[in-house]
């Protein structure tokens, strides 16, 4: 850096966001960029550490802090500060195939490991990344990279979520012919149908998919591997197969049937919302004037909260079984460990703005539901004690005409397991050899279907590592970095 003291000269300033009441009127993205001068000031806050924890992805006490992609963060922060925007983009794309996705939806593991975070506020790595990639698109620096030579090898990717797209991109750039099979009507997987439009506008996903098609990757939609195309057909047509199907079996709630009218899994609710928005149709599952209860306080639960608010719900309550985290780091959770602190995300903030209170109830779960004419009418909640057992006398009945289950996922579907004769781990995800992505000769797995439900950034890393192994199996070595 031209100055080593930017973190002393400039306060952290995040990208501004549209006020809650205004942004709740649409499903549009609501972050607004800073002016160029202020963005460069924010880049100047990077300390250019000799040992940058932000890009190191270290695991402490079972949780990772720092970027799994090992993004060259101090390098592109320096170039951004100096006004070398195109070179900053090249350094960003060196490790991250899709910064337009991570700069929107990643929880910024990099910032949690930023040295500034010890006694100040971390560098705005997330927002800086967004500026670099979107500035690259605006200036025409992000264009189709058509491989000059082809290897003659063909690879089938099953699934077009983050890991599938990542693997496809790296293998295609290597020169292999890549076909991607997607069971939904649009490619993109989680990026298209699992993440709401206000967090990741679908035009951004389509923009990347168009580039990938120009680069030679073919997408086949409405094709479910194992049903519409068999394992044997794929083995006969391709030199290698990569399973990147995600961990798609939702976790159910004990004693609660999703056959009851008004009870849905969050993944189905979010998917139909996006489909209806894309097609300009009324919502199939409409939260308008509904009393909504969401089971699950993670990112998906928050996304459901933001979605039902935009659809005009009458009330929203989010139940979280775990205790409420502390507002600040505790003594036994020092930097650079992942901060186990209370996170109040956009959906929760919008609920506070709309209804005057946080929608979350911690240490709480559903003990029973009440129906009327086959439709859900209310739920009875119960508090959980330190031993995670129900507290006697803590039952409370609240109105509920729409129950969304956002309790996570429990692995890959049995149909895929049977079709591809897959070995499974105790977590019901695909078992691979040792610490690799190889299931057996010619068959590989990456992403959530291998490691379990995780973040987009981990999916991109999984796809890259899997592509390296596939490439080495086909060519005898790999030059994928």
Q: Does one domain contain both 91 and 206?
A: no
Q: The domain that contains 468 carries what CATH number?
A: 3.50.50.60
Q: Does one domain contain both 400 and 268?
A: yes
Q: Does one domain contain both 342 and 384?
A: yes
Nearest one of 405, 391, 399 to 323, comparing CA atoms: 391
Return the pLDDT at 254.
84
Check if the beta carbon of residue 413 is closer than 8 Å to that of residue 430: no
Nearest one of 259, 277, 307 to 406, comparing CA atoms: 307
Return the pLDDT at 256.
86
Return the pLDDT at 240.
98
Q: Does one domain contain both 176 and 130?
A: no
Residue 58 in 3-state DSSP? strand
373, with CB counted inside 10 A (0-12, 13-18, 19+), is exposed
> Along the chain (481 residues), what's the average pLDDT of each consecutive run of 10 residues?
75 96 97 95 93 93 94 96 97 98 97 91 97 98 97 98 98 98 97 98 98 98 97 98 96 87 97 96 97 94 98 98 94 93 96 97 96 96 94 97 96 96 96 96 98 96 98 97 89
Return the pLDDT at 472.
98
Domains in the chain, number: 3
Asked whether residue 254 is assigned to any structural domain, the reply reads no
* 439-465 per-residue burial string, b: 16 or more CB within 10 A, e: under 16: beeebbbbbbbbbbbbbbbbbbbbbbb
DSSP 310-362: HHT-SEEEEEESSPPPPSS--TTS-TTS--------HHHHHHHHHHSS--EEE
Q: Does one domain contain both 296 and 363?
A: yes
What's the predicted TM-score (pTM) here?
A: 0.96
- C-alpha span between 274 and 197 (Å, rounded): 7
- Strand order of the β-sheet with 154-158 is 218-220, 177-181, 154-158, 240-243, 443-445, 438-440
Asked whether residue 1 is assigned to any structural domain, the reply reads no
Q: Does one domain contain both 278 and 393?
A: yes
**Domain finish residue from 405, 434, 449:** 405
Sign of CA pseudo-dihedral 398, 401, 404, 407? positive
Q: Does one domain contain both 93 and 222?
A: no
Q: Does one domain contain both 115 and 179?
A: no
Domain that holds residue 337: 263-405
Residues 6+ apart with CB under 8 A from 456: 101, 102, 105, 106, 162, 190, 191
- C-alpha span between 270 and 220 (Å, rounded): 23
**Domain finish residue from 378, 405, 432:** 405
Asked whether residue 258 is assigned to any structural domain, the reply reads no
Asked whether residue 257 is assigned to any structural domain, the reply reads no
Q: Does one domain contain both 14 and 112?
A: yes
Q: Does one domain contain both 16 and 134?
A: yes
Return the pLDDT at 4.
61
Q: The domain that contains 40 carries what CATH number?
A: 1.10.1060.10
- C-alpha span between 396 and 383 (Å, rounded): 9
**Domain finish residue from 107, 138, 169:** 138
Q: Does one domain contain both 231 and 97?
A: no
């Amino acid at each position: 850096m031209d100055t080593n003291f930017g973190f002393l000269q400039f306060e952290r300033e995040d990208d501004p966001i549209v006020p809650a009441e205004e942004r709740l009127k649409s499903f549009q993205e609501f972050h607004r960029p800073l002016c160029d001068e202020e963005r460069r000031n924010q880049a100047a806050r990077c300390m250019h550490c000799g040992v940058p924890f932000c890009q190191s992805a270290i695991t402490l006490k079972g949780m990772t802090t720092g970027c799994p992609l090992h993004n060259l963060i101090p390098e592109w922060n320096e170039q951004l500060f100096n006004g070398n925007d195109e070179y900053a983009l090249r350094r960003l794309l060196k490790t991250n195939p899709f910064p337009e996705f991570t700069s929107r939806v990643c929880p910024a593991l990099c910032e949690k490991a930023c040295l500034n975070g010890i006694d100040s506020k971390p560098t705005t790595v997330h927002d800086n990344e967004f500026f670099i990639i979107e500035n690259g698109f605006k200036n025409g620096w992000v264009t189709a990279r058509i491989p000059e030579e082809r290897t003659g090898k063909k690879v089938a990717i099953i699934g077009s979520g983050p890991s599938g797209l990542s693997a496809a991109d790296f293998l295609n750039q290597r020169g292999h012919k890549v076909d991607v099979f997607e069971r939904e009507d649009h490619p993109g997987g989680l990026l298209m149908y699992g993440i709401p439009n206000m967090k990741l506008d679908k035009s951004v996903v389509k923009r990347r998919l168009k580039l990938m098609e120009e680069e030679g990757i073919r997408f086949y939609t409405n094709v479910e591997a194992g049903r519409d195309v068999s394992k044997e057909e794929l083995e006969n047509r391709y030199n290698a197969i990569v399973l990147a199907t995600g961990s798609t079996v939702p976790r159910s709630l004990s004693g609660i049937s999703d056959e009851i009218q008004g009870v849905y899994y969050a993944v189905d609710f979010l998917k139909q919302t996006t489909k209806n928005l894309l097609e300009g149709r009324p919502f199939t599952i409409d939260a308008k004037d509904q009393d909504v209860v969401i089971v699950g306080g993670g990112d998906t639960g928050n996304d459901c909260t933001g979605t039902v608010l935009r659809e005009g719900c009458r009330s929203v309550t989010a139940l979280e079984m775990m205790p409420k985290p502390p507002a600040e780091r505790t003594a036994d959770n020092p930097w650079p460990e992942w901060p186990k602190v209370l996170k109040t995300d956009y959906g929760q903030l919008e609920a506070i703005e709309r209804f005057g209170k946080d929608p979350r109830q911690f240490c709480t779960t559903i003990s029973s539901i009440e129906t009327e004419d086959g439709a859900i009418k209310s739920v009875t909640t119960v508090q959980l004690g330190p031993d995670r057992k129900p507290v006697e006398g803590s039952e409370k009945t609240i109105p509920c005409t729409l129950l969304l289950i956002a309790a996570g996922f429990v692995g890959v579907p049995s149909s895929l397991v049977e079709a591809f004769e897959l070995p499974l781990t105790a977590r019901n995800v695909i078992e691979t050899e040792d610490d690799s992505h190889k299931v057996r000769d010619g068959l590989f797995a990456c992403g959530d279907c291998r490691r379990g439900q995780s973040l987009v950034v981990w999916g991109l890393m999984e796809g890259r590592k899997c592509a390296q192994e596939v490439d080495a199996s086909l060519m005898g070595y790999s030059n994928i970095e």
